[in-house]
Amino acid sequence: MPQPENPARLDDLTQGEHMLLWAFRALAIGARDCRLIHRQFDEACGPAGAQALAALGVFVRELALTGRRKITLAAPGSLRITRDEQLILALFAAAQAEDYARLEAHLAWLLAGEPRPPFAAAACLTAQALGMNGYVLRLPQVEAPANIGRQQITQLRPLPARGERVERRS
């Protein structure tokens, strides 16, 4: 069965993505002591489960404290996935794939500012613990636009100042 390129529902996710997003939502609403999530990470990641979940908790807490934009999360248990949640999954997938340039770009967008050290470290620890135990986080597939012809490119120039003469180019 082919996997969706950009899942928009919780049931379109892999088991690792589902577990990560479920825990992220729970931590975001303050359910740090949820036994189900702790047990799930312990069973999935063995001895690294507690550390992976703690690192995810640091990520969520720091995002709440230092992020400069409002992050939209669906309610725990909801099957729908928001755009911000898709970005969060892509961020952790980049960490698991060791694609640090993509990780930093996703962090900058998510935070609306310069990423600080705890974010990348926490994302990498969580993602690697999942990956080492067979829980793959998929990188979204982004295709470059097909051969763009010259006629499709629009060049934007600044508007002339009031009273300034405009030269027309052919």
**Residue 51 forms part of a structural domain:** yes
Q: What percent of the chain has pLDDT over 70?
A: 79
Q: Which domain holds residue 93?
A: 10-135
**Residue 154 forms part of a structural domain:** no
Euclidean distance between CA atoms 107 and 83, whole angstroms: 14
Q: For every residue of the chain, which 3-state class applies, written as one string?
A: CCCCCCCCEHHHCCHHHHHHHHHHHHHHCCCCCCHHHHHHHHHHHHHHHHHHHHHHHHHHHHHHHHCCCCCCCCCCCCCECCHHHHHHHHHHHHHHCCCHHHHHHHHHHHHCCCCCHHHHHHHHHHHHHHHHCCCCCCCCCCCCCCCCCHHHCCCCCCCCCCCCCCCCCC
**Residue 27 forms part of a structural domain:** yes
| Res. 110: pLDDT tops 60 | yes
**Residue 100 forms part of a structural domain:** yes
**Residue 2 forms part of a structural domain:** no
**Residue 168 forms part of a structural domain:** no
pLDDT of residue 128: 96
Query: Tokens standing for 47?
Result: 């001895």
| Res. 2: pLDDT tops 60 | no
Cα–Cα nearest to 56, from 83, 104, 89, 11:
89
Mean pLDDT of the chain: 83
Q: pLDDT of 60-99, one tens digit each?
A: 999 999 889 999 999 888 899 999 999 999 999 999 999 9
Number of independent structural domains in the chain:
1
Instruction: Give pTM, 2 decimals.
Output: 0.78
Q: pLDDT of 133-169, one tens digit each?
A: 999 999 987 654 555 444 444 445 455 556 666 555 5
pLDDT of residue 153: 46
Euclidean distance between CA atoms 74 and 87, whole angstroms: 13
**Residue 122 forms part of a structural domain:** yes
**Residue 152 forms part of a structural domain:** no
pLDDT of residue 141: 73
